[in-house]
Amino acid sequence: MQALILAAGEGKRIKPIVTSKPLIPFGGQTLLDRVIHNLKAVGINKFLVVVSPKDQDKLKAYPTVIQPQPNGMSGAVLAARSVLVGPTVVVNGDDLIDPKILTKFSQAIKTYQDKVVVTAIKSRPDLTGGYFDLRGPTLQVVEKPKEKQPSEWLKLVLDYFPRIEEFIAALKSTQSLRDDVYEQALNQLGNLSLVKADGYFQPLKYPWQILDLAQLILTHYLKPQTHPSAQIHKTAVIEGLVQIEAGVRIMPYAIIKGPVYLGKQVIIGDHALVRNSLIEANSVVGYKSEIVRSYVGPNNNFHANYVGDSVIEADCNLGSGATLANLRFDKKEIIPGRNKLGAIMAQASQLGVNVSVMPGVSLGAKAIVGSGLVLAKSLEAGEFKKN
């Protein structure tokens, strides 16, 4: 069986992050790699990835097809129409789905061999999308209902088509003024079998959801092991579940409190503290820095910093003493559902020495904050806040 993986989304809501969502590394593997690994575990062994033109050269490991324009899920499927035939699973490349859900979905495919199989989980306050309407004679999907939700069952992008060419024909004949051509085409097909699933599901739409995904990786995918090439000073303290990759160096009196992932060639400096975080390859957590409940992408450098509940994309530099605050004095939510959120630092952004970044503030790619400043408002890509 083949899977069509939708990985060409424009990602407007993930800004200021510039890495395409499926290509963001989590624990040494891209999100797309983890999606494919989980699909392989339920017997899907053939993959076609729909990508945007800018990512075509970055995906050498899998067959790809280009979606020339960011015209939604329907456009993604139609971009692959010339090479799709027969039984096909359609899934997002930036959704992390519990293997338990995938197993139940796979079992339903075997049970309803000649039917379209769709998947739902119970709705949560932090999720939006299509909902299933179970009230009529046939199952229907309502995308982003304007009024009351027709049920508690939220649709996942985890669909099985015994004959994908029939769905492609429905897509071609469907028109809508809303962004729901995919869902309308599903309704047009009819004969849908619904899998009501239970388990974790985490999409990646907003930058702070990188933190949610990081916690899922630490909880469900961490391999507590130390590579033989890692160098750990005898005075360093390692507590809890910690995965330490090749070439890691942990200096004197550093403390690592799991769950923690340390990617290849990561350096943890003297007296540094890392708690409940992902630190991707080639990042340096310098002397006396503290990283807590954060996502640190590859090639970042820290110098005596506090980094709490923050997302640091890649190639960033934090000057000595720079602090990323993560909690308001009044304890109010910074975004809905989060009263702790630090900074979102996009690729190659920089902080001078002794900079203070207020909770929930973001820096666009290559943004710079001069030494000693307090940053209370977000910076656009390339912006330089000077003394």
pLDDT value at position 176?
A: 82
What fold, for 2-205? Spore Coat Polysaccharide Biosynthesis Protein SpsA; Chain A (3.90.550)
Gap between the Cα atoms of 303 and 288, Å rounded: 8
Q: CATH second-level architecture of 210-381?
A: 3 Solenoid (2.160)
pLDDT value at position 44?
A: 96
pLDDT value at position 42?
A: 96
Gap between the Cα atoms of 304 and 97, Å rounded: 37
pLDDT value at position 145?
A: 84
Region of 317 on the Ramachandran plot (φ > 0 left; ψ -120 to 50 alpha; else beta): beta
pLDDT value at position 128?
A: 86
Q: What is the pLDDT of residues 20-67, one digit of tens each?
A: 999 999 999 999 999 999 999 999 999 999 999 999 888 888 999 999
- Between strands 267-268 and 249-250, the pairing is parallel
pLDDT value at position 136?
A: 80
- Between strands 130-133 and 140-143, the pairing is antiparallel
**What are the boundaries of each domain within the chain?**
2-205, 210-381
C-alpha distance from residue 268 to each of 26, 272, 283, 307 (Å) = 19, 6, 9, 14
- Between strands 95-97 and 201-203, the pairing is antiparallel
C-alpha distance from residue 310 to each of 48, 212, 291, 358, 359 (Å) = 33, 11, 9, 11, 9
Query: How high is the mean pLDDT in each 10-residue block of the chain (387 residues)?
Result: 93 95 98 98 96 90 93 95 95 98 97 93 90 88 85 96 96 87 92 94 97 98 98 99 99 99 99 99 99 99 99 99 97 93 99 98 99 98 95
For residue 253, what is the DSSP state? T
Q: List the one residue out of 155, 70, 38, 67 whose CA is nearest residue 47.
A: 38
pTM over 0.85: yes
Gap between the Cα atoms of 187 and 142, Å rounded: 9
Across 348-376, b (16+ Cβ under 10 Å) vs e yields bbbbbeebbbbbbbbbbbbbbbbeebebe
Q: What value does the CA radius of gyration of the chain take, rounded to a whole number of Å?
A: 22
pLDDT value at position 10?
A: 82
Alpha helices by DSSP H, listed for the chain, are: 31-40, 72-79, 99-111, 164-173, 181-189, 209-220
Gap between the Cα atoms of 202 and 338, Å rounded: 16
Gap between the Cα atoms of 95 and 92, Å rounded: 6
377: how many CB neighbours lie within 10 A of its CB? 8
Amino acid at 375: L
